[in-house]
Amino acid sequence: MGSATTHALAGAHAALAQTAGVDLGVTGELFEAARALGENSHLRSALADSAAAPEARRGVVTAVFGSSVSPATLSLLGVIVDQRWSSAGDLVDGIEELAVRAASVAAPATDLEQEIFQVAGVITANPELELALGSRIGDAGAKGSLVTSILGGRVSDATALVVTALVRNARGRRVRQLLRDAMDVVADQRGRTVAIVTSAAPLSEAQSQRLVAALTERYGKPVTLNTVVDPTIVGGVRVQVADDLIDASIATRIADLRQRLAG
């Protein structure tokens, strides 16, 4: 991520915090705007063109989206295109991230991180399904309908909206990474971070509490645990927080030992 994009995202986050009336309607409109830009290279380039005056870029936003989105969404899109982005692709990603953050704001009582994690687990447990959803081939609407049928009303409206929108606009990206990134964005919006913990057996309550305390101290913010049971790691735990991986599994230790002995 370029420095321009980092600064642009900060501006977008600040605008969201100051925007009243953010609901799932705004969330859906932001996702649709990201999809429209993702599918239209000319529009994407025009709105990311830092050589054009901000007023001109805002004018394009109003002309394209003004009649189809709420005032809150139009205002947020205006702030977004006011920013300088490192690339046109970063602009699309930025709108998409803001949509996820809007979902978090719109549904404060929903455990979005956990629900997205559960959906990701269902999808990644079926490699053929994950490949089909992430493929550039196939109708986006059909993919969205497939996800809706899989969820079957078992998650909140906010989670269903986020997951369906990301799958429809995967743009060749791996679905599991899209969902993990969304989970991290929701956590960050709520002032915490997510740790994905893989263990050979379910953690006890005491073990979970100790791990949460240790990770909270390490990262300086509250930590939410999402756990995966994988007997192949034999024992110990593997913890992933964003790009950080803490691998204290017995399987990894054995593999390291074998490599040393072979050397």
Confidence of residue 263 (pLDDT cuts 50, 70, 90): low
Q: What is the pLDDT of residue 171?
A: 84
CA dihedral angle for residue 170, residue 171, residue 176, residue 180, rounded to 10 degrees: -80
Q: Strand order in 237-241's β-sheet? A: 223-229, 193-199, 237-241, 244-247
Token pair of 51, please?
Answer: 């050589």
pLDDT digits (tens, 9 = 90+) for 37-65: 999 999 999 999 989 999 999 999 999 99
Q: What is the pLDDT of residue 153?
A: 84
Helices 157-168/88-106 angle, 10° precision: 170
Number of continuous H segments (helices) and E segments (strands) in the chain:
13, 4
Summarize the confidence of residues 237-253 as an average pLDDT.
86
pLDDT digits (tens, 9 = 90+) for 124-163: 888 888 888 877 777 888 888 888 888 888 899 999 999 9
In whole angstroms, give the CA distance from residue 80 to residue 224. Answer: 30
In the chain, the percentage of residues whose pLDDT exceeds 70 is 99
pLDDT digits (tens, 9 = 90+) for 58-82: 999 999 999 999 999 999 999 999 9
**Residue predicted with more confidence, 223 or 135:** 223
Res. 174: pLDDT tops 90: no
Q: Are the CB atoms for 223 and 235 separated by under 8 Å?
A: no
Q: Among 79-83, 113-117, 147-151, 165-169, name the one with the lowest average pLDDT.
A: 147-151
In the chain, the percentage of residues whose pLDDT exceeds 90 is 68
What does the H/E/C string look like for 126-183? CHHHHHHHHCCCCCHHHHHHHHHHHHCCCCCHHHHHHHHHHHHCCCCCCHHHHHHHHH
Which has the closest alpha carbon to 211: 229, 197, 221? 197
Confidence of residue 239 (pLDDT cuts 50, 70, 90): very high
Res. 29: pLDDT tops 90: yes
- Chain mean pLDDT for the chain: 91
